Amino acid sequence: MDHILVANNVSKTFGNYTALSNISLKIPTNCIYGLLGPNGAGKTTFIRIINQITYQDQGEILFNGEPLAPKHISVIGYLPEERGLYKSMKVGEQALYLAQLKGLSKNEAKKRLKYWFDRLDIGDWWNKKIQELSKGMAQKVQFIVTVLHKPKLLIFDEPFSGFDPINANIIKDEILQLKENGTSIIFSTHRMESVEELCEHIALIHKSEKILDGKLSEIKKAYKNNIFNVGLQLEQDNEMLLKNLQDKFNILSSSYNEEERQLDFVMKLPSSQTGDVLATLSNHANVNRFEETIPSANDIFIQTVNKKDNDR
């Protein structure tokens, strides 16, 4: 698999404070890569190093196989978490300025801006000043400016903060579209629901160290612990059944609805082999639910971070 960005043993300290220690990551080309971690973990420092705003003390970073260099700035797009625009400058003028700083010619920038302004339905804002716009509107302008120069690698740091749900959805669709068009995307956040929706790969950074990375689906598989939700439809009240089951299996919790004669419980199995269990259950009642619980990204996040903290 091609990698747009590879980091090998990257470390960075500020005085006595270690921001990153020995971070190694491989970010595949044309995928959405979730960079996760609690506040202060070192995500922003890592992103700033990719953008060459600061530099690592040790380690190397390869961009498309070459050492990261100033020329790569024009093929990287960055939407920082701390973002804003000049308040007293007009929207169009400002967008042109920022696009030209990324190396676009004035005419090309104008053409592309027109396309994007129409696409996001903000065409008539061109001559407005930023201070006249709402926060969400300014964020749209900011998003356009980030993607305008068609970067190969896009870095979004908490892209949805400041958006209402409707506009957040529009931006999410745009991000997916950009990925379809071949862009590689680093997506930094601590909001896990968007991670589930967008990311194929993730890395979890905690207290300056990488504690987990890989394909999200594989990580989830690895974090499965053979817990199943089961629902049984009984033909008649059978108080002995639950007791019998509890003797045979490890039942974590249960509930019984007398009216519906519905018995629900959560059980942990010794392995992921389910055939015998299902057969046994079927003997007693009609199984109307049998599903393995898959940990959410949020669970994995909390679990891993807590485990790491307890290890210390």
Q: Which residues sit at the interface with other proteins, rule CB under 8 A?
A: 14-15, 48, 51, 53-54, 73, 76, 78, 80, 82-89, 97-98, 100-102, 142, 145
We find the least distance from the C-beta atom of residue 15 to other proteins, in angstroms, to be 5
Name which of 99 and 205 has its Cβ closer to other proteins.
99
We find the least distance from the C-beta atom of residue 157 to other proteins, in angstroms, to be 9
Q: CA–CA separation, 292 vs 16, rounded Å?
A: 46
Pairing of strands 153-157, 76-79: parallel
Q: Backbone phi, then psi, for 78, in 5-degree steps?
A: -135, 125
We find the least distance from the C-beta atom of residue 79 to other proteins, in angstroms, to be 8
We find the least distance from the C-beta atom of residue 255 to other proteins, in angstroms, to be 48
Q: CA–CA separation, 50 vs 56, rounded Å?
A: 9
The tokens describing 221, both together, are 């598989």
We find the least distance from the C-beta atom of residue 77 to other proteins, in angstroms, to be 8
The tokens describing 213, both together, are 């990375």
Strands annotated E in the chain: 3-14, 17-28, 32-36, 58-63, 66-67, 76-79, 153-157, 184-189, 201-206, 209-215, 227-233, 250-257, 262-268, 286-292
We find the least distance from the C-beta atom of residue 81 to other proteins, in angstroms, to be 8
Name which of 65 and 84 has its Cβ closer to other proteins.
84
In the 8-state DSSP scheme, what is residue 93? H
Name which of 79 and 212 has its Cβ closer to other proteins.
79
Q: CA–CA separation, 291 vs 274, rounded Å?
A: 10
